[in-house]
């Protein structure tokens, strides 16, 4: 994340507000809210403001993924546009979702909420869409997972853990 902050400072900080940069970063797959909050702390964005920016940025792609990703993937495979990449994403989602059908709400909540590599709102939404989870139920689980991840990353990135240890 430090290299991303350095890249921003070297190339964009003079004309792109740091809050907009963090918002955009929070929308990017794999980086998402977790990276956005880490970058926010490095750019000295206040905690509450950072959370608002990153949560909104992370939420925006979710409805589009839930509603349209299956159609987009089918189109891409049919027209041989990044077909191998799409198939790899589908395979990855399948592997990550083993047993999810039974307790899909709890699975999605924990999958999105526990900040480990390869998890997050994007992949959780992809899994929910590919396995036809109910959109309302999936959306609530993903949203709660985003809040859970925000709390965990806040504790790590803003040093809130030190407030409880001493």
Task: Read off φ and ψ for residue 33, nearest 5 degrees.
Answer: -60, -40
Which pLDDT belongs to residue 161? 61
**pTM passes above 0.85:** yes
At 113-161, the pLDDT tens digits run: 999 988 999 999 999 998 889 999 999 999 999 999 999 999 988 886 6
Q: Would the pLDDT of 162 be above 70?
A: no
Domain ranges within the chain, ordered by starting residue: 2-59, 61-153
């Amino acid at each position: 994340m430090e290299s991303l902050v350095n890249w921003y400072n070297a190339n964009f900080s003079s004309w792109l507000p740091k809050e907009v940069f963090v918002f955009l970063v929070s929308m990017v797959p794999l980086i998402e809210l977790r990276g956005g909050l880490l970058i926010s702390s490095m750019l000295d964005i206040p905690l509450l403001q950072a959370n608002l920016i990153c949560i909104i940025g992370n939420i925006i792609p979710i409805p589009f993924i839930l509603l349209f990703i299956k159609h987009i993937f089918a189109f891409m495979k049919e027209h041989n546009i990044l077909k191998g990449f799409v198939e790899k994403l589908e395979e990855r989602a399948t592997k990550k979702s083993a047993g999810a059908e039974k307790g899909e709400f709890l699975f999605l909540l924990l999958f999105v909420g526990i900040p480990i590599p390869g998890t997050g709102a994007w992949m959780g939404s992809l899994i929910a869409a590919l396995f036809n989870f109910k959109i309302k139920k999936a959306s609530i689980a993903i949203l709660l997972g985003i809040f859970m991840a925000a709390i965990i990353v806040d504790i790590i990135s803003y040093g809130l853990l030190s407030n409880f240890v001493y």
